[in-house]
Every structure is written in C-alpha cells, then in structure tokens.
Amino acid sequence: MNFKKLIAIFFLISSFIFALQIGPPMFEQRIDGSGGYREFTLTNPGTKTLRYKLTVLPGKTNDMSKWTEVSPKIITIKPGSKGKFKIFAKAPSGIPDGEYHYNLSIKMMDLPKLPGETDKVDAAAKLNFDFHLGFIGYAGDLKPLTEVINTSITKNNDGLTVVKGTIINKTPKRGIYCGITIIGGDKTLLSTDLRVPKNGKQNFTYTLDKNIKPSDVDGIVIRNLEDNKELLKTKF
C-alpha cells in the first residue's frame, strides 16, 4: 500500500471517529430483578447521512451479552441530527452480586450514493469501520459509597487555577461512574465525569478557565451517574 493510500485511510478513520458521538458514555444499570434500561443518543455533526448497525457482543469478563438487547439494530442519522437507541438487560435470578460486561459494536454501513457524491465519500462506509464500546452492568443491592480525599486548589505555571483530589470507591463489588461538578457560589465552574473501579481509587486534576481564581472555588459535588443522585459534597 502506497503512502497516499495510507494518508487517505487515516483521514477516513479520523472522519469516522469524529462523526461518532455517543452519550451517555456508560450503561451502569442493575440487571437483576426487573432489569436495567438506558437510552443513548448518537449525534451526526458531519455533512453526510450516516447509517450504523448496532450489535451486542460478549464482554471481556462476566459476560452479560446473552441477557442484553439493543433496539433499533440499524439507525440512520441525517447531517446535523441525532438518533436514539435503547439497551435493556435482564439477568436470570440467582446470579452472583458484582459487575457484568458486554460490548456494543457500532458499525458503519454503506449507503446508496446520491447524485454529486464522490467515490471517496462511499469509501468510508465500504471500509466497514466497526467501533466497539465496553459497557458494564451489575447485580445485587450494591449501594454506592465514595469518599474524596487529598483535595487542593493551586495555580500552575501559567497562572491557571488547578483543582486536584482523589475519589475512593468504597462500594462493594462494583465500580461507580461519577459525575464531578466544581462549584463556586451558585455557579458551575466545571462539569465532567470519571469511573472509579471496584475496590479502587481515581486521582483527578482539572484546570479551570483563565478567569477563575482559586478563591472562586467553593467545593466539589460528586453524583452517581447511574441515577444522577448526589453522593457527597466537599467544601474548600
């Protein structure tokens, strides 16, 4: 394969990854009992209509794919639009408490070429890009429990305010996907998320906007993104 073809493929892959915007980035639902459900949104920020085939595949450990369904299985999204799909998982009774895994394949499908489209546009779909996302569910009445330690507010060499800390996950047998909000008064200064693994901890470092001073920061709010409920609030 010559250099020009390699460059062309690189840009096609980059365009595909840019076009694939999915939210929320996690499943994190209880799958025993009545089962777990989540709705996802795929966004097409590009200028071409995109079509994807969605397939549930086995997870790396404690596979839950055989209990998991995605609907619809094919989704077409026009430029600048969004498409929604749903995932539902229901495990059989009696499975052990803990985490279970599956993968979601999001595969670009070929579309009939419209008048004026070039062969290069068609090539992106014909390369059959197949993007896999790993998702996690859990079984058991495992209430989330977290702690934030070692928090600090400093300025870096560029004079920007930096907030640091560590989230410890004390929840038995499962990780927690945390929403993190840095607050100042009644304002949100930064909002992001991270997953803290089971029996683990996760350090964080966030650099704030140049107009935010250390004295503007009042605290951090941690939410459980499974249900968006507040877990704790730390004041500075």
Q: Summarize the confidence of residues 162-185 as an average pLDDT.
A: 96
Give percent above pLDDT 70 in the chain: 84
Q: Summarize the confidence of residues 42-49 as an average pLDDT.
A: 87
For residue 236, the 8-state DSSP code is -
Confidence of residue 47 (pLDDT cuts 50, 70, 90): confident
Omega within 30 of 0 (cis) for the link into 72:
yes
Dihedral-angle region of residue 120 (phi above 0 means left; psi in -120 to 50 means alpha; beta otherwise) = alpha
Q: What is the pLDDT of residue 177?
A: 97
pTM of the predicted protein model: 0.83
Q: Which two tokens stand for residue 112?
A: 């009939």
The SS3 of residue 12 is helix
